[in-house]
Amino acid sequence: MTASATTQPVTRPRASRLRSILGGSIGNLVEWYDWYAYSAFSLYFSKAFFPQADQTVQLLNAAAVFAVGFFVRPLGGWIMGRYADKAGRRAALTLSVLLMCGGSLLIAITPGYATIGPLAPAILVLARLVQGLSLGGEYGASATYLSEMAGQKHRGFWSSFQYVTLIGGQLLALSVLLVLQRTLTTEELNAWGWRVPFVVGALCALVAILLRRSMEETGDFQHEVADTSHAKTRATLRGLAQHPRAVATVVGLTAGGALAFYTFTTYAQKFLVNTAGFTARQATFVNAVTLTVYMLLQPLVGALSDRIGRRPVLMTFGLVGAIGTVPLLRALGGATSETEAILLLLCALTVLSGYTAINAVVKAELFPTGIRALGVGFPYAITVSVFGGTAEYVALWFKNAGHEEWFYWYVSACIAASFVVYATMRESSRIGHMGE
């Protein structure tokens, strides 16, 4: 009797499956908290690393380092994707959070420009490179793990928790910022308070490492390892080349969604300060409120995709996002109250949920098990680096050049391009690469 005839995907009790999903999600939250702490606190630490410049140029320099972290993410997606497809999803997830811990700790202890000169921003770049490697691997391994652990009937719902915890990590970073803004003076935040969130992140990452070491491996991966009845797809460039349509779909569906996500989440805080004229505290409060609602929307949209399919949900985001981005950003730039800013951002984030809630499961459903983590993580990392990682820098560059509205049209055009992909792609939930 062949291995394929005797080896079936592991069927897990519901409680065991839920524990594994929650364990993976908590680690994901810590990873994204560490990543977003940089963006949330850049209004304060940019002065320590780039002292001789006005606020826009300081933020531009900090955004450039933020983008550098993105450009190493494809390398992380490649290395960790292959590792996850060979050694297992659990091993890759544990390694990724260990790297993130090291990057956060390095930022926390690095002296400022006034103490060590140009070495300070150089070390900052190094820390972001380490974090970029970590996050490049985290996305593919996490998306694969959650999608494989979730049952077929509710895969959209459970996989949406990747973005619940991703947004939760950003929200946690903002919450730490709000607490510090209310307990420390602006002078104290600029001098040393900005280091606190990175220390917290390093400590939380250690807890996440312990949690991930106790996670179960997915049934799909165990079945793939045990099945010797056929030649399995290798996690290599040749393996990816066997799925050109799936790779192209990942790139196309990610471009507009990633750019929109970083525009209306991480950059929104700076946009409210630098364009709309809000104070840093007001912008942080607006961002915290809108992200809370946005986080709660993800499972609802994920569950909707289980009922009507992934493609209609993605198409709704693409169509409304392409049409509505320019007028919404114009209105947000002219907002005069926190309530107005919250309502406008919530409109944008509700539409954006059509991408964020399900993009991970869509990518996972496109690839067979033996190449799934690499297939999800590597092309995604390249695309998000080009579009998401440069969002803040491009926006600030246009503003500094006196053509801020050009950025609005750029975001709209990228979403429109992704809409074409959504409209022509196959329904991923029906491709059949994933088991029960």
Range with the lowest mean pLDDT among 164-173, 206-215, 243-252, 321-330?
206-215
Taking only the tens place, the pLDDT of each residue in 222-249 is 665 555 444 455 556 666 667 788 889 9
Instruction: Kindly state whether residue 220 falls inside one of the protein's structural domains.
Output: no
CATH of the domain at 407: 1.20.1250.20
Is the separation of the CB atoms in 427 and 253 below 8 Å? Answer: no
pLDDT at res. 234:
55
Taking only the tens place, the pLDDT of each residue in 311-322 is 999 999 999 999
pTM summary value: 0.79
Is 290 in a helix, a strand, or coil? helix
Residue 135's nearest CA partner among 279, 35, 58, 242 is 35
Q: Give the count of domains, the chain.
A: 1
Instruction: Kindly state whether residue 235 falls inside one of the protein's structural domains.
Output: no
Dihedral sign, CA of 400, 404, 409, 413? positive
Instruction: Kindly state whether residue 177 falls inside one of the protein's structural domains.
Output: yes
Q: Which residues, including other chains, have CB under 8 Å from residue 324's CB and lie 6 or more apart?
A: 347, 348, 351
DSSP 52-99: SS-HHHHHHHHHHHHHHHHHTHHHHHHHHHHHHHHH-HHHHHHHHHHH
Instruction: Kindly state whether residue 354 falls inside one of the protein's structural domains.
Output: yes
Structural domain of residue 37, as residue ranges? 14-214+244-430
pLDDT at res. 17:
64
Instruction: Kindly state whether residue 4 falls inside one of the protein's structural domains.
Output: no
Is 9 in a helix, a strand, or coil? coil
DSSP 31-63: HHHHHHHHHHHHHHHHHHHS-SS-HHHHHHHHH
pLDDT at res. 4:
37
Instruction: Kindly state whether residue 171 falls inside one of the protein's structural domains.
Output: yes
Question: Where is 428: in which H helix or E strand?
Answer: none
Instruction: Kindly state whether residue 38 falls inside one of the protein's structural domains.
Output: yes
Instruction: Kindly state whether residue 183 falls inside one of the protein's structural domains.
Output: yes
> Over the chain, what is the mean pLDDT?
83
Taking only the tens place, the pLDDT of each residue in 301-358 is 999 999 999 999 999 999 999 999 999 999 999 999 999 999 999 999 999 999 999 9
Is 309 in a helix, a strand, or coil? coil
CA distances from 210 to 22, 83, 214 (A): 14, 19, 7
Which segments within 170-278 are labelled E, that is strand?
none
Average pLDDT over residues 190-199: 91
